[in-house]
Amino acid sequence: MGGAEVAALIAGTVPAMRRRGRYRPPRGPEVRDLEELADALARADVDAAARVGGCLGLAADAAGGALVLHSDPDTERAWLVVALRPGVVPGVVVEVPHPNADLDTEAVGLGVWRRRPEALYLQAGAHRAAGAPPDACERADHPADVAARADTPFARVAALLVARGLPQLQLHGFADRDGVDVVLSPGASTGGPLLDAVADRLAATGERVGVGDDPRWTDLLGRRNVQGLAAADRATAFVHLELSRSLRRDTGRREAVADALARALDDVAASGGLSWR
């Protein structure tokens, strides 16, 4: 029930994250506040997280035994959505970088969060195209595209958590293609036990899983992904998941994938592969 409350609260904010929404990058003391927020999240200090979150324009709600911090999508500081369990030090970050643009990825991410008590949920607070000039063509020209811009609040918080050794599961979406339902990649890294466990668990659900170089999905491997690059620099686990539209629009398949991802984390944790510094 508690997880359902959190999911409803967060999902309710997503439709307001519009393509032409307002957005600006953080500046001055806001950057320092983001560092303080990341530190509070890493320590599961909900009081400190709520306090510094307020300085960043994040509303704090207690829901289902968790703290949910969320920005207002209708403001220029449409930056973050976070769900954290008080006193439970995070062991993995479940990331949704493109809410509303990659439809229903938040439903899968929140499904993993519900199943893993030590998971920290981190979501962008704006549509990936928010705040971009009308003629923006390159992803780097979109200031709210958190997977392409290291100066976004999402990217700054994720980088600081990765510096503490936390692994990341990052969820994306793609239009349906023949022969594949999920594309997995370690981004700029070389893979490892978590990627292998995710691939095995997803295949066991019946999803068609694509891994490695293949001309059918080379554009979905996320090798320039900012969070993946940070993970490669720190030698931490990063799993970039692209989910087909048909999968994301099917409630049963979404829940099965969320369960598979949680079980993959169980598998790696049981072997001693999930840790933080």
Summarize the confidence of residues 15-25 as an average pLDDT.
96
Secondary structure (3-state) at 3: helix
From CA 157, how far away is CA 51, in angstroms rounded?
16
Render pLDDT for 98-115 as a digit per residue (tens, 0 to 9).
999 999 999 999 999 999
Are residues 189 and 232 in contact, defined by beta-carbon separation less than 8 angstroms? yes
Q: For the residues of 160-184, what is the DSSP string, one character each?
A: HHHHTT--EEEEEEE--BTTBSEEE
Give domain status of residue 262, yes or no. Answer: yes
Domains in the chain, number? 1
Rounded to an integer, the average pLDDT of 240-269 is: 97
Q: Is residue 154 part of a domain?
A: yes
Give a yes or no: residue 229 inside a domain.
yes
Identify whether 275 is part of a domain: no
Residue 2 binned pLDDT confidence (cut-offs 50, 70, 90): low
CA atoms within 13 A on the CB side of 9: 24
Mention every residue, 6+ apart, whose C-beta is less than 8 A from residue 79: 26, 56, 57, 58, 71, 124, 125, 126, 152, 153, 154
Domain holding 259, by residue range, is 2-270
pLDDT bin (cut points 50, 70, 90) of residue 1 is very low
Q: What confidence score (pLDDT) does residue 275 get?
A: 53
pLDDT at 223: 95
Q: Which range has the top average pLDDT, 1-15, 136-150, 249-263? A: 249-263
pLDDT tens by residue, 27-84: 999 999 999 999 999 999 999 999 999 999 999 999 889 999 999 999 999 999 999 9
Residue 227 maps to a domain: yes
- In this predicted structure, what is the pLDDT of residue 138? 83
Domain membership flag for residue 276: no
In eight-state DSSP terms, residue 112 is: H
Average pLDDT for 126-143: 88
pTM for this entry: 0.96
At 140, list the tokens.
């780097």
Domain-embedded: residue 264 = yes
Question: Residue 83's domain is classified under what CATH number?
Answer: 3.40.630.100
Residue 145 lies in a domain: yes
Residue 152 to residues 90, 109, 159, 227, 270: CA-CA distances in angstroms? 21, 20, 11, 11, 34
Confidence of residue 272 (pLDDT cuts 50, 70, 90): confident
Pull the structure tokens for residue 95: 């990331």
